[in-house]
Amino acid sequence: MDILLARTEISAKPKKINVDKLKEELTKCNDKLFYFDKENSHKDMMSLIDTFEDDNYTVHFREIKFGLEEDAYMYELHVL
């Protein structure tokens, strides 16, 4: 499954990453913060959380607002 990482600039396009690459990063350290773009569907985010929880990780998920506009947000996933 591919998922979109958070943009570094508002005008930039989000980059895709594979879940396997995310899991590789978790093998390097025990906990990691990931930031994902608002274009990811909520269903995809829940599926990603289930994937990590199936591998016995604890996952904390939230939406982060960074502006006053309704669509100025990103997803944060803290995997332990």
CA atoms within 13 A on the CB side of 35: 9
How crowded is the C-beta side of 19, counted as CA atoms within 13 Å?
Answer: 13
pLDDT at 5: 97
Inside any domain, residue 24? yes
Per-residue pLDDT of the chain (80 residues; tens, 9 = 90+): 899 999 988 889 999 999 999 999 999 988 999 999 999 999 999 999 999 999 999 999 999 999 898 889 999 999 99
Q: Residue 72 is part of which domain span?
A: 2-7+17-79
pLDDT at 67: 87
Q: Is residue 12 a part of any domain in this protein?
A: no
Give the chain's domain count. Answer: 1
pLDDT, position 30:
82
